[in-house]
């Protein structure tokens, strides 16, 4: 980014486990969310909060405008799937469903 450039853009990402299977078990879910936060930080976004349930994830981040939303989701999904499978956190092969939701937020309060 150029010197003197300031951005403040918040994006919520939502994506699901393949077939909406309930594979993100409570006993390791927090570990996966922490790993995802590291991915977000490595992409130079600001990790605000990552949470979810057994079948989907919500990520709120401060967007680094130098990295596209689609590249961000791709990297999070790819790296977290590898992490879950390499650590053998699921009894079967883990993968994310195709696609995602992306929503922007306005931080101006009246």
Tell me the domains of the chain and their CATH numbers.
10-105 (3.30.70.1290)
- pLDDT tier, 108 (very low <50, low <70, confident <90, very high otherwise): low
- pLDDT tier, 7 (very low <50, low <70, confident <90, very high otherwise): confident
Tokens 């995602």 belong to which residue? 100
C-alpha closest to that of 59 among 100, 26, 106:
100
What pLDDT shows up at residue 26?
96
Cα 24-30-35 angle, rounded to 5 deg:
95
Pairing of strands 101-105, 56-62: unpaired
Per residue in 22-31, pLDDT tens?
999 999 999 9
- pLDDT tier, 106 (very low <50, low <70, confident <90, very high otherwise): confident
Across the range 99-105, mean pLDDT stands at: 95
- Note the pTM of the prediction, 2 decimals: 0.92
Q: What are the residues whose beta carbons fall under 8 Å from the beta carbon of 64, sequence distance 6 or more? A: 1, 43, 44, 45, 46
Assigned token pair, 25: 């078990």
Per residue in 40-82, pLDDT tens?
999 999 999 999 999 999 999 999 999 999 999 999 999 999 9
What pLDDT shows up at residue 4?
80
Whether the CB-CB separation of 104 and 11 falls below 8 Å is answered with: yes
């Amino acid at each position: 980014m150029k010197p003197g450039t300031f951005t403040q853009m918040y994006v919520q990402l939502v994506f699901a486990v393949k077939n909406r299977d309930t594979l993100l078990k409570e006993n390791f879910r927090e570990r996966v969310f922490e790993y995802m936060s590291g991915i977000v930080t490595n992409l130079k976004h600001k990790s605000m909060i990552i949470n979810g349930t057994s079948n989907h994830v919500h990520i709120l981040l401060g967007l680094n405008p130098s990295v596209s939303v689609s590249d961000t989701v791709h990297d999070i999904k790819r790296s977290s799937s590898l992490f879950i499978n390499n650590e053998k956190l699921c009894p079967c092969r883990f993968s994310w469903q195709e696609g995602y939701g992306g929503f922007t937020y306005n931080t101006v309060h009246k």
